Amino acid sequence: MTRMLGRLSFLASVSLAAVANAQPSPDPRVGLKAGKTDAGVAAWNIRLVSNTPTQAPFTSSWNSDLAFFGNYAIQGSFAGFQVWDISNPARPTLRKGYHCPASQSDVSIYKNLLFLSGEDYGARLDCGTTPVRDSVSKDRLRGIRVFDITDLDNPKNVANVQTCRGSHTHSALFDPKDPENVYIYVSGSAPVRSPNELSGCVETNPDEDQHSALLRLEIIKVPLASPEKAAIVSAPRVFSNLPARPAGHAEAEEDIQAAQKSAAEARARGQFTAVIFGMERALSTQFTNRLLDSLVKVRGGAGFSAVTSADSAALRSALPTIIEKMMGGDEDRSHHMQCHDITLYPAVGLAGGACEGFGFLMDISNPIQPRRLAEVADSNFSYWHSATLNNDGTKILFSDEWGGGGAPKCRKADKPEWGANAIFSIVDGKMKFESYYKLPAAQTPQENCVAHNGSLIPIPGRDIMVQGWYQGGISVFDWTDPAHPREIAFFDRGPLDSTRMEMAGSWSVYWYNGVMVSSEIARGLDIYELVPSEFLSANEIDAAKTIRFEYFNAQGQPKFEWPASFSLAKAYLDQLERSKGLAPARITAVRNALGQAEAATAAARRTALTQLGASLDRDVSGSSDAKKVELLAKAVRDLNR
């Protein structure tokens, strides 16, 4: 055992050394100078195209989440929302600032409609700046504001949908089968407000009152033609019947092994065992002796001293029911368990729910009745915050916003599996734990840092994501191999303040139409571009840029479908070179052939591509990366369409 461990750690150190060679060492993110506008900066394979500071009256509030449409980025703020024209990423201009204070003004957009979350007690229906102070007030807004932004100069507040817990975040769902409506999934983790303010807001446990505002989602239906009719259409109880111990990485591996070993040994000794929370466990003899004692007494015997083998057999068969009863009741279905973020991926009919103590996989084929397919818990996770699915819908990544985003959880002593992402593969509707990914550079105690919002980057054939880590900066990582995620690019600034932790950093960073836009809580709007590296080629980045959306909400995940382009074919070829899926000479030959076809026109190009496609088809069977060769052959053939 010891020898094996020794060998494992040797292997681990070898692979770490390989990583260290590729990444700048020492990590330039460590020890950056503090400052608001003049902080030290470290960048690797990323270029900051522009930073545009927040303008009054938004300067004294925190910036929050982002949504996009056309050439615009909408940046939420605790003071309202800001519409930036980003048609020139080097010089974004504020097209419209709308003052309307609320926490935390999470934003989504669909066509001409903008949705804003409000959660706190001070926010007003009329967007006024004097906070509501009364405990019960008709002026309070906790829920979703709906704006028509057809006239960007004059956004019109067309509806407000009040909810019992307010809206911490929300996600917008467009169901292609239902083009007349858009659905808003509301997540809220704040306390339930008084029924005197909003009737029906019941805080009693759902077991006692079916109208309880706890342990549910709210889904708002917004008719596109008449958004003023927006209203809650369902409140599905996605938490009901949760198993006592969900699958997943609930226990540390060594704990599971220890339990299995001790259960086997106990069985061998003739001791009672039972399946508890999905794991076979040896039962304490004190506990089973007491049960035996009562069993004997029930049949009129003298108690434990008179136990027979029949009593033992009776207990053995009754144990599962006894244990189930003991576990039943679902302990204390604690009050405020709610989902924090739900990422909807309608193209595959799935949603990832980051729901405080759990990660949910949900079927959303019926938008108003989401159904929980599977759930995971994790002893290393404190707070399931957000979810991202990969483009194929075969993997899901959850992040743990340990400390709520206001704490420095990336210090050297903070464990790499805490405040991190957990990556799962999805197999037959279940989730299987694969690995953790945490920002790999230690940050100072002056920097709030934990996993936060990000999005996929549409690199064809790979799962690449960019993510904001508050003052930890932004990190681009590859999770194509879910068991071995690795960082391939980063950008970081020093702390906002050298003496104390102030809220700052990237609230969220999303890829949108060729650039990465980040909402810097205290420093404004950042726009970045990727710089080619050995981990990501220029062709792969060019192929990502062929994906264009009219609007984009990260929590309403769209599916990437790459249009035919030479960049796409070259991107796959670069990936085959990296994976050694084709011999170097063959890579060169295909690259030349692609270049010649691109330079050729009309019939000559057509012929060249047909020949190349056919020859690539013949490469498939001999390649160690056959799937990628197939993708390449298809990309080449598609160029002829």
Q: How far is the CB of 135 from another protein (least distance, A)?
A: 5
Site string for another protein, 207-246 (x = CB under 8 A): -------------------------------------xx-
Per-residue b or e along 418-457, where b marks 16 or more CB atoms closer than 10 Å to that residue's CB: bbbbbbbebeeeebbbbbbbbbbbbbbebbbbbbbbbbbb
**Pick 194 or 480: Cβ nearer another protein:** 194
Cα-flanking dihedrals φ and ψ of residue 182, to 5°?
-125, 145
Q: Which of 39, 159, 161, 283 binds another protein (CB under 8 A)?
A: 283
| Candidate segments 412-420, 522-530, 549-557, 623-631, binder of another protein by CB under 8 A | 412-420
Q: How far is the CB of 373 from another protein (least distance, A)?
A: 21
By residue count, the chain amounts to 641
Q: How far is the CB of 508 from another protein (least distance, A)?
A: 17
The order of strands in the sheet holding 143-148 is 104-110, 113-118, 143-148, 156-162
> Which of 54, 117, 115, 30 is closest to 551 using CA atoms?
115
Q: Contacts with another protein in 182-211 (CB under 8 A)?
A: 189-191
**Pick 171 or 382: Cβ nearer another protein:** 382
Q: Which of 326, 483, 583, 626 binds another protein (CB under 8 A)?
A: 326
Q: Which of 34, 43, 274, 457 binds another protein (CB under 8 A)?
A: 274
Site string for another protein, 472-501 (x = CB under 8 A): ---------------------------xxx
Query: Using the 8-state DSSP alphabet, how is residue 330 labeled?
Result: G
Return the C-alpha torsion angle 560, 561, 567, 569, nearest 10: 120
CA 139 to centroid of chain Cα atoms: 34
**Pick 141 or 597: Cβ nearer another protein:** 141
Give the count of alpha carbons within 13 A of 73, CB side only: 32
Q: Indicate whether 313 belongs to the interface with another protein (CB under 8 A).
A: no
Site string for another protein, 546-585 (x = CB under 8 A): ----------------------------------------
Amino acid type, 245: R
DSSP string covering 340-382, please? Answer: SEEEEEGGGTEEEEEEBTEEEEEE-SSTTS-EEEEEE--TT-S
| Candidate segments 89-97, 142-150, 330-338, 365-373, binder of another protein by CB under 8 A | 330-338
Q: Contacts with another protein in 22-51 (CB under 8 A)?
A: none
Q: Contacts with another protein in 104-133 (CB under 8 A)?
A: 120-122, 129-131, 133
Q: How far is the CB of 258 from another protein (least distance, A)?
A: 5
Q: How far is the CB of 84 from another protein (least distance, A)?
A: 24
Cα-flanking dihedrals φ and ψ of residue 582, to 5°?
-135, 150
Q: Indicate whether 404 belongs to the interface with another protein (CB under 8 A).
A: yes
How many chain residues touch another protein (CB under 8 A)?
A: 70
> Which of 474, 170, 544, 482 is closest to 339 using CA atoms?
170
Q: Which of 379, 588, 607, 624 binds another protein (CB under 8 A)?
A: 379
Tokens of 609: 């591509």
Q: Would you say 66 and 544 are in contact if contact means Cβ atoms under 8 Å apart?
A: no
Q: Whole-angstrom Cα distance, residue 575 to residue 629?
A: 10
Q: Which residue has the tokens 């949705």?
A: 115
Q: Which of 44, 69, 78, 433 binds another protein (CB under 8 A)?
A: 78
Site string for another protein, 131-170 (x = CB under 8 A): x-x-x-----------------------------------
**Pick 245 or 591: Cβ nearer another protein:** 245
CA 31 to centroid of chain Cα atoms: 29
Cα-flanking dihedrals φ and ψ of residue 293, to 5°?
-55, -45
Site string for another protein, 427-456 (x = CB under 8 A): ------------------x-----------
Return the C-alpha torsion angle 222, 228, 233, 238, nearest 10: 60
Q: Whole-angstrom Cα distance, residue 34 to residue 61?
A: 20
Q: Indicate whether 332 belongs to the interface with another protein (CB under 8 A).
A: yes
Q: Whole-angstrom Cα distance, residue 63 to residue 509?
A: 12
Structural Rg of the chain based on CA atoms: 28
Return the C-alpha torsion angle 36, 37, 38, 40, nearest 10: 70
Q: How far is the CB of 304 from another protein (least distance, A)?
A: 18
Q: Indicate whether 410 belongs to the interface with another protein (CB under 8 A).
A: no
CA 27 to centroid of chain Cα atoms: 26
| Candidate segments 38-46, 275-283, 310-318, 483-491, binder of another protein by CB under 8 A | 275-283
Q: Would you say 510 and 53 are in contact if contact means Cβ atoms under 8 Å apart?
A: no
CA distances from 558 to 70, 344, 490 (A): 15, 9, 24
CA 136 to centroid of chain Cα atoms: 35
3-state secondary structure of 362: strand
**Pick 382 or 537: Cβ nearer another protein:** 382
Q: Whole-angstrom Cα distance, residue 542 to residue 274?
A: 57
> Which of 490, 536, 496, 482 is closest to 516 using CA atoms?
490
Q: Would you say 341 and 386 are in contact if contact means Cβ atoms under 8 Å apart?
A: yes
Q: Indicate whether 641 belongs to the interface with another protein (CB under 8 A).
A: no
Q: How far is the CB of 596 from another protein (least distance, A)?
A: 60
Q: Indicate whether 285 belongs to the interface with another protein (CB under 8 A).
A: yes
Q: How far is the CB of 435 from another protein (least distance, A)?
A: 18
**Pick 421 or 446: Cβ nearer another protein:** 446
3-state secondary structure of 341: strand
Q: Which of 127, 276, 442, 620 binds another protein (CB under 8 A)?
A: 276
Amino acid type, 534: E
**Pick 29 or 193: Cβ nearer another protein:** 193
**Pick 153 or 253: Cβ nearer another protein:** 253
| Candidate segments 27-35, 225-233, 269-277, 568-576, binder of another protein by CB under 8 A | 269-277
Q: How far is the CB of 531 from another protein (least distance, A)?
A: 35
Give the footprint of another protein on this chain (CB under 8 A).
Answer: 60, 78, 101, 103, 120-122, 129-131, 133, 135, 189-191, 244-245, 251-252, 254-255, 258-259, 262, 266, 271, 274, 276-277, 281-285, 287, 323, 326-327, 331-332, 334-338, 340, 356-357, 377, 379-380, 382-383, 402-404, 406-409, 411, 413-415, 418, 445, 499-502
